[in-house]
Structure 1
């Protein structure tokens, strides 16, 4: 069963995020707190959404999908960016991952969104094979860039000149 996350799910979502970080061999990177996730999901300016996969027999949460809206300037409509998809190892192969992706695809179709998009680590062959089996295709012509930590702080601290190119009011 797939359902929308509720405020009482936040501690479980944090545990899922930590388990996912361990699986991806980056446990030290999972720093989000329950308070941060609660605010992101349920606060006054919430812009992040989550769904929980529950075991059909026990009703226990076995996975989650955390996502937010993106926008295609070419299509002129929103899409969904799937930030995290995780199913506990003991529940894999039970259809939970596919059910979570199916629910997000339904949201896209129902709302007229043009795409469901996510990233996957190059070494994660089981997930890549699973995604391909659903008809997903890699965007090999694109390279993901990230600005974080010191370089982000340094760039954000600069004046940027008379026309920073940011395209918005100062």
Structure 2
């Protein structure tokens, strides 16, 4: 079963975020608090949305997806960026990942989003194989760039007066 997340799901989402960070070899980077997630997913200035994957018997949360819309100047339309897709190890192979992605694809189609994009670590062969089975295009020619911490602050100090 796939459903929209509700506020009561936040502690479980936060726990799975930490599980995902550990799997991706970066547990120290998962710092989001319940309060931050409540604000981001359900606050008045919502930053993202989440879907939950559940088993029916016993009823338990086994996965989640967090996404947010973006705008493409090339297509002139919105798209969806999938930030997190995670299914707990004991539930993998049960179709939950495919069901989460299908639910997200349906949101894209319903809203007229022309692109559904996400990133995958280059060493995550099981995920890459899964995405290829869905006929996802892997865009090897793009390199993600990031500013954070002191480099971000340094560049911000160079901004013209506002």
Instruction: Look at both structures and tell me which one has the larger radius of gyration over its CA atoms.
Output: 1
| Residues 159/72 of structure 1: CA separation in 2 closer, same or farther (3 Å cut) | closer
Tell me what 1:70 maps to: 70
Structure 1 length-normalised TM: 0.93
Taking the aligned partners of 2:105 and 2:156, their CA distance within structure 1 comes to: 36
Q: CA offset at residue 160 of structure 1? A: 4.0
Q: Unaligned stretches of 5+ in structure 1? A: 162-169
Tell me what 1:90 maps to: 90
Does 2:46 align with 1:25?
Answer: no
Taking the aligned partners of 2:143 and 2:58, their CA distance within structure 1 comes to: 41
Matched residue SS, 2:28? helix
- The number of equivalent residue pairs is 162
Matched residue SS, 2:59? coil
Tell me what 2:117 maps to: 117
Tell me what 1:103 maps to: 103
1:113-160 alpha-carbon deviations (Å, 9 max, x no partner): 001100000000000000000010111111100011110011112234
Q: CA offset at residue 34 of structure 1? A: 0.4
* Match runs of 1:119-158 below 5 Å: 119-158=119-158
Two-structure CA RMSD over aligned residues (Å): 1.0
Taking the aligned partners of 1:67 and 1:113, their CA distance within structure 2 comes to: 13
Tell me what 2:38 maps to: 38
Structure 2 length-normalised TM: 0.97
Taking the aligned partners of 1:64 and 1:100, their CA distance within structure 2 comes to: 7
